Amino acid sequence: MNEPFLRHTGRVAALPRADVDTDQIIPKQFLKRVERSGFGPALFHDWRFRPDGNLNLDFELNRPAAQGASILLTGANFGCGSSREHAVWALREYGFRAIVAPSFADIFFANCCQNGVVPARLLEQEVAELFRRHAAAGGDYRLTVDLEQQRVSDGLGFSTAFALEPYRREMLLRGLDEIGRTLLVADRIEAYERGREAL
């Protein structure tokens, strides 16, 4: 059961690059935990920290204006590569509730929806506009992701719609447990299995 997501307003961290893979989001040396928690401190580990363990102050998430960010603004094909759900657990634990990008990798997108993190797909030029506004504001920039209305807006003139399948939207809005939902049609599964065994 996740916390229901209706709308969220928060500070934006910008990571203006495409093809950010899940190996960067949570490097493999942190995948040995058997819990769903404890991944936040390792988010973007090899980018956030220098080899000597100190913060890499050049990395976007380490900039003062990005502290306390809860919305990640990034490039196309975000979350490509490994299926590791640990990537979403790390983002969520770090504080991100929504990710705004032109596109997401398929498995990562599904993993977000399972964990109450809204993946909002906008047009490439809309994301470019948001990067411009973020930069113009010196990084002091907030967005509202409204899942009920399916809109992303900044209260300063930018407002646009995003698409999300009704099934996923409802899961996120209500914080539903997908297994419980599937078990509502357990009779269908049983019927399918009877047909399958008869094969």
Distance CA 169, CA 147 (A): 7
Burial-class residue 14 by CB neighbours within 10 Å (0-12, 13-18, 19+).
buried
* Number of residues counted as binding other proteins (CB under 8 A): 52
Instruction: Candidates 58-66, 91-99, 154-162, 163-171: pick the segment binding other proteins (CB under 8 A).
Output: 163-171
Are 10 and 142 in contact, with CB atoms under 8 Å apart?
A: yes
Could you tell me the two tokens for 147?
């899942």
Could you tell me the two tokens for 57?
């102050």
Is 97 an interacting residue with respect to other proteins (CB under 8 A)?
no
- Tell me whether residue 71 or residue 117 sits nearer to other proteins (CB atom): 117
Cβ neighbours for 96, distance < 8 A, ≥ 6 positions apart: 69, 70, 71, 72, 117
Which x/- pattern over 5-24 shows residues binding other proteins (rule: CB under 8 A)? Answer: ------------xxx-x-xx
Among 9, 62, 114, 149, binds other proteins (CB under 8 A): 114
Among 115, 149, 150, 153, binds other proteins (CB under 8 A): 115
Is 178 an interacting residue with respect to other proteins (CB under 8 A)?
yes
Residues 34-93 that bind other proteins (CB under 8 A): 34-36, 46, 51, 75-77, 80-86, 88
Q: Beta strand pairing status for 159-161 and 118-121? A: unpaired
Distance CA 100, CA 151 (A): 11
Residue numbers of the site for other proteins (CB under 8 A)? 17-19, 21, 23-24, 27-29, 31-36, 46, 51, 75-77, 80-86, 88, 103, 105-107, 110-111, 114-115, 165-168, 170, 178-179, 182-183, 185-186, 188-189, 192-193, 196
